[in-house]
Amino acid sequence: MLTLKQIYDDKAKVIAGLNKKHFSGAAEAIDEVLRLDGERKAAQQEKDAAAAQMNQISKSIGMLMAKGQRAEAEAAKAQTGDLKAKIAEYDEKMAAAEEAQTKLLLTIPNVPYDIVPEGAAAEDNLVVKSNVPHHGGDTVGTWVGEVNNDEAKLPHWELAKKYNLIDFDLGVKISGAGFPVYIGQGARLQRALINFFLAEANKAGYTEIMPPTVVNAASGYGTGQLPDKEGQMYHCEVDDLYLIPTAEVPVTNLYRDVILDEAQLPIKNCAYTECFRREAGSYGKDVRGLNRLHEFSKIEIVRIDTPEHSDASHKEMLEHVEGLLQKLELPYRILRLSGGDMSFTAALCYDFEVYSEAQHRWLEVSSTSNFDTYQANRLKCRYRRAEDKKVALCHTLNGSALALPRIVAALLENNQCEEGIRIPKALQPFFGDDMIR
């Protein structure tokens, strides 16, 4: 969540940033945060004054008793009793103001960086790079020609049936829509991608973590899924546990209430997990097949870093994800998200999209974000500076490297040929063949 220092240092900038995110009532919310802080400070001052007065009177009691002034000593004792009661009242006022302030801060999103584009929706996102000519941004790589919109190409749900790779109907039978069953070469392709992505993350210096896939509410609040995405998370009410929507939640929460040494940073972790999302309100043709699932596999990369180095860390993460797409020989583009399309917690976010030649559209496969101190403030994730030994908030970052469903969709659709479905060269050692037949 936002720090009070951020708000006091530049209230106008904070409000402007919240307006860029299209957060309704930004000015009123920030004013209320400051009012509650003023209330807490006033109670603190009253408490400090009462405590000082009580200490002074307490010192006089012994002197009065020594002089035989028992009545005056008893009156002083009674006065200290009254002051203790007042101090307890001030403590209650401070706690109430602080609790109300924290509850309000939890509902206020992060402030976007200055380079975040203005805009209310995905249409306002800025394409910054693509390996496909004429699709915006800087053209990179050696992708030959335009993407192929051959009408004869089958969508992945038809290819999955043709080659017996994925059974969507069986998934409906045993769980419901959005829970596919991978079969034979389809299951092998999933496992190959998972192992490939983990191997690439290991080469890039990420430590693999195998975390739980259920978390408590404190973990959800720590990374900002709660209270913002409560309706999108699967909640096990009896145990008050949540199925994770991404490995970001458990892996980042490893550092909740931790003070790190600067020499330990940056911390680079990765994790493969199943992810669970209710995807409430998602309807229409764009959710068919693997396009939008309730359960899916994903490899997440997570970094904890110093404020001075987090921008460089973010760039390294972007390069890592881009390298994966290049090795998978997919047409891709990178977008800097507009204020209105960013997540609640992000200060800066880039999406990676791959082109689906059968569906004739771009599919999001990764979001890579810098959260600045927003998550760290919730988590109380801090580090001790080497130079002056002062404790400061870390920066947290994460990204999908990569989410599997739409990668699988694009690989199947873009690589179909008469012989079967071609497997990219980098993936062949993991898949064990050069073709799905």
In which residue ranges of the chain is CATH 1.10.287.40 found?
4-105
Mean pLDDT over all residues of the chain? 93
User: What are the residues facing 304 on neighbouring strands?
Assistant: 267, 396
In which residue ranges of the chain is CATH 3.30.930.10 found?
122-436
Span 230-259, pLDDT tens digits: 889 999 999 999 999 999 999 999 999 999
Q: Check pLDDT > 70 for residue 282.
A: no
Cβ proximity of 258 and 382 under 8 Å: yes
What is the crossing angle of helices 185-203 and 404-414, to 10°?
A: 120
Q: Check pLDDT > 60 for residue 86.
A: yes
Q: Check pLDDT > 60 for residue 366.
A: yes
Question: In whole angstroms, what is the distance from residue 431 CA to residue 326 CA?
Answer: 18
pLDDT confidence of residue 137: 56
Superfamily of domain 4-105: Serine-tRNA synthetase, tRNA binding domain (1.10.287.40)
The length of the chain is: 437
Span 326-346, pLDDT tens digits: 999 999 999 999 999 999 999
Question: In whole angstroms, what is the distance from residue 301 CA to residue 272 CA?
Answer: 9
Question: In whole angstroms, what is the distance from residue 112 CA to residue 89 CA?
Answer: 39
Superfamily of domain 122-436: Bira Bifunctional Protein; Domain 2 (3.30.930.10)
